[in-house]
């Protein structure tokens, strides 16, 4: 099973206790990130993208937040390291005779968050860390190591009182047991790698002496310090002008090729999605509306919400007007499809019975919309008379 994703998230649900009641920011979603590939989560402001991405490593303040579900991170270095550090938290499927490690159900006790398969000699061959169950201390190791985050606003993440060099050197020394001089050398290499000109001289500059794009490059350099397997980037280019944005996206693409990392990329901008995504999850009001490869999402958009988002792109016909209406109140979401109240195709069935089960259009392409279930005709939405191949008829499952 070389095809196992680096990260697979199942039924991720994140709620917040608020004065207005229980707010469901992420309402039970699934997604996967493969090594060396980029998954984009796209959707309007407030749809839960940031909360979803921060729930992966539980960067959610708790209380008032609560994260549930399964977040399987399959980086073997992390699995081995945490199995060593937390022997009591290891669930060994081989010993328990519980079958293969990829079984969907969650074996073990609640506090067993490292699931492994071993050879007879004890060597761990496969496994995962369930980040949703891992204690904060273990999560801190993961966050500072094999999973790195890059945020929208480098101002918030960089300390303006220290030089950029000091901050990178500090990060290097936290991760590796090296001398100051070696850490400085590594900092220069990293700045060079992310395209900062004359890096040796820039090391002694303070963050305010860097432009917005350069600051984001510095943040990416800091994320690379630990040589992460997964990079989580939340709108890292939104604050930048288009040319700089495009340079940063290219940089991420190049670094991904070089380091083979998986990238979880959050954006509200389909233009950005087109530039960097391999796979796309379209999210709305805490639920997944549609998922597919970047080609499928752009060439065969199937959910009315995806189609509306695409029409909002420049030249898409809806650019100025946007999608009518606003997101539902996350403390009191609609009963059926989350998008139904704003959907021009909505029928009675769309307003009851929860978010529709995902119908599978191809191996990768799934859509959560009543029109793709049996008894409905999706050509009302896609405008094609030729019914697209609904392989395996999973809409009826
Ligand atoms: N700490 C918190 N406490 C209460 N509610 C929160 C908290 N953090 C986020 N939310 C709520 O969760 C919902 C999803 O927010 P989130 O920031 O994930 O949206 P988003 O898709 O990232 O939007 P944007 O594109 O504007 O960044 C919103 O209704 C938001 O108000
Ligand atoms: Ni956000």
CA atoms of 229 and 77, how far apart (whole Å): 10
pLDDT: which is higher, 303 or 158: 303
pLDDT given at position 157 = 81
Residue 23 Cβ contacting ligand 1 at under 6 Å: yes
Q: What is the pLDDT of residue 396?
A: 42
| 43 alpha carbon, closest ligand | 1
pLDDT, average across residues 366-373: 97
Give the highest mean pLDDT range of 1-15, 57-71, 146-160, 379-393. 57-71
Band the pLDDT of 277: cuts 50, 70, 90.
Answer: very high
> What pLDDT, on a 0 to 100 scale, did the predictor assign at position 89?
94
For residue 339, the Cα-to-chain-centroid distance in whole angstroms is: 21
Residue 371, SS3 per DSSP: helix
SS3 370: helix
268 pocket-lining for ligand 1 (C-beta < 6 Å):
yes
* CA of 234, nearest ligand number: 2
Range 344-354 average pLDDT? 95
pLDDT at 389 over 80: no
% of residues, the chain, pLDDT over 90: 77
Per-residue model confidence as pLDDT tens digits over 65-116: 999 999 999 999 999 999 999 999 999 888 776 666 765 455 667 789 999 9
CA distances in angstroms from 129 to 13, 53, 82, 96, listed in the order given:
18, 17, 8, 17
Higher pLDDT, 3 or 231: 231
> What pLDDT is recorded for position 288?
98
User: At residue 386, does pLDDT exceed 60?
Assistant: no
Averaged pLDDT, 8-24: 97
Ligand lying nearest the CA atom of residue 29: 1
Residue closest by Cα to atom 22 of ligand 1: 50
Pocket test for ligand 1, best of 20, 21, 23 (most atoms within 8 A of CB): 23
Structure tokens at 98: 């519980």
Question: Ligand 1: does its nearest atom lie under 6 Å from the Cβ of 256?
Answer: no
321 pLDDT above the threshold of 80? no
Nearest CA to ligand 1 atom 12: 25
- pLDDT score for 318: 74
For the CA of 327, the nearest ligand: 1
Closest residue CA from atom 5 of ligand 1: 16
pLDDT of the residue at 210: 94
**Probe target for ligand 1 pocket from 26, 44, 45, 50, with the most ligand atoms within 8 Å of CB:** 50
ipTM: 0.99
More confident residue, 322 or 283: 283
Phi/psi of residue 153, each to 5°?
A: -115, 100
| CA nearest ligand 1 atom 7, residue | 16
- Res 106: pLDDT: 59
Question: Is residue 14's pLDDT more than 90?
Answer: yes
Cα(48) to centroid(ligand 1), Å: 5
Question: How many A from CA of 333 to the centre of ligand 1?
Answer: 14
Q: Quick one: which atom of ligand 1 is closest to the CA of 61? A: 1
Q: Is the CB of 64 under 6 A from ligand 1?
A: yes
Of all protein residues, the one whose alpha carbon is nearest to atom 25 of ligand 1 is 45
| Mean pLDDT of all residues in 149-166 | 88
d(CA 263, CA 150): 11
49 CB under 6 A from ligand 1?
yes
Q: Which of 16, 151, 286, 328 to mutate to test the pocket of ligand 1 (most atoms within 8 A of CB)?
A: 16
Q: What is the pLDDT of residue 90?
A: 93
262: closest CA among 51, 132, 78?
Answer: 78
Q: 232-261: per-residue pLDDT in tens?
A: 999 999 888 888 899 999 999 999 999 999
Q: How many Å lie between the centroid of ligand 2 and the Cα of residue 383?
A: 33
Q: What is the mean pLDDT of residues 166-182?
A: 93
Spacing, Cα 24 to ligand 1 middle (Å) = 10
Q: Which atom of ligand 1 is nearest to the CA of 53?
A: 18
Number of H helices, E strands in the chain: 14, 14
- H helices present in the chain, as ranges: 49-56, 76-85, 93-96, 136-143, 154-157, 164-175, 180-193, 199-202, 212-224, 242-259, 270-276, 294-299, 304-311, 379-382
Beta bridge partners of 31: 9
Decide if pLDDT at 148 tops 50. Answer: yes
134-152 exposure pattern, b = at least 16 Cβ within 10 A, e = fewer: beeebbebbbebbbbbbbb
Average of pLDDT values for 43-48?
96
* Tens digits of residue pLDDT in 184-214: 999 999 999 999 999 999 999 999 999 999 9
Ligand nearest the Cα atom of residue 281: 1
Both structure tokens of 246: 């495009």
Ligand 1 atom nearest 266 alpha carbon? 22
pLDDT of 394 over the 50 cut = no
């Amino acid at each position: 099973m070389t095809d196992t994703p680096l990260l697979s998230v199942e039924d991720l649900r994140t709620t917040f206790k608020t004065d207005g009641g229980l707010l469901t920011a992420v309402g039970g979603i699934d997604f996967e990130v493969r090594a060396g590939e980029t998954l984009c989560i796209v959707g309007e402001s407030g749809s839960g993208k940031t909360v979803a991405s921060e729930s992966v490593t539980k960067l959610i303040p708790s209380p008032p937040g609560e994260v549930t579900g399964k977040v399987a991170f399959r980086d073997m270095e992390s699995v081995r390291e945490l199995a060593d550090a937390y022997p009591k938290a290891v669930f060994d499927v081989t010993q328990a005779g519980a079958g293969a490690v990829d079984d969907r159900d969650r074996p073990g006790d609640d506090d067993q968050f490292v699931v492994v398969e071993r050879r007879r000699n004890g060597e761990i061959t496969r496994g995962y860390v369930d980040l949703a169950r891992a204690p904060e201390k273990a999560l801190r190791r993961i966050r500072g190591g094999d999973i790195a985050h890059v945020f929208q606003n480098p101002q918030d993440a960089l300390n303006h009182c220290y030089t950029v060099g000091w901050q990178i050197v500090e990060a290097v020394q936290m991760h590796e047991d090296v001398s100051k001089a070696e850490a400085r050398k590594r900092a220069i290499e990293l700045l060079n790698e992310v395209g900062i000109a004359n890096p040796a001289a820039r090391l002694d500059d303070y963050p305010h002496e860097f432009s917005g794009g350069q600051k984001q490059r510095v943040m990416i350099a800091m994320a690379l310090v630990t040589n992460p397997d997964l990079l989580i980037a939340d709108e890292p280019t939104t604050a930048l002008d288009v040319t700089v944005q495009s340079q940063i996206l290219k940089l991420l693409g190049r670094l991904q090729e070089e380091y083979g990392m998986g990238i979880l990329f959050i954006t509200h901008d389909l233009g950005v999605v087109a530039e960097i995504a391999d796979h796309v999850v379209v999210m709305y009001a805490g639920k997944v509306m549609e998922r597919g490869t970047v080609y499928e999402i752009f060439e065969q958009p199937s959910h009315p919400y995806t189609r509306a988002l695409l029409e909002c792109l420049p030249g898409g016909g809806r650019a100025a007007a946007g999608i009518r209406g606003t997101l539902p109140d996350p403390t009191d979401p609609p009963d059926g499809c989350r998008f139904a109240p704003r959907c021009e195709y909505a029928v009675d069935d769309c307003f009851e019975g929860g978010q529709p089960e995902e119908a599978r259009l191809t191996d990768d392409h799934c859509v959560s919309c009543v029109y793709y279930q049996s008894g409905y005709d999706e050509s009302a939405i896609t405008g094609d008379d030729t019914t697209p191949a609904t392989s395996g008829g999973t809409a009826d499952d």
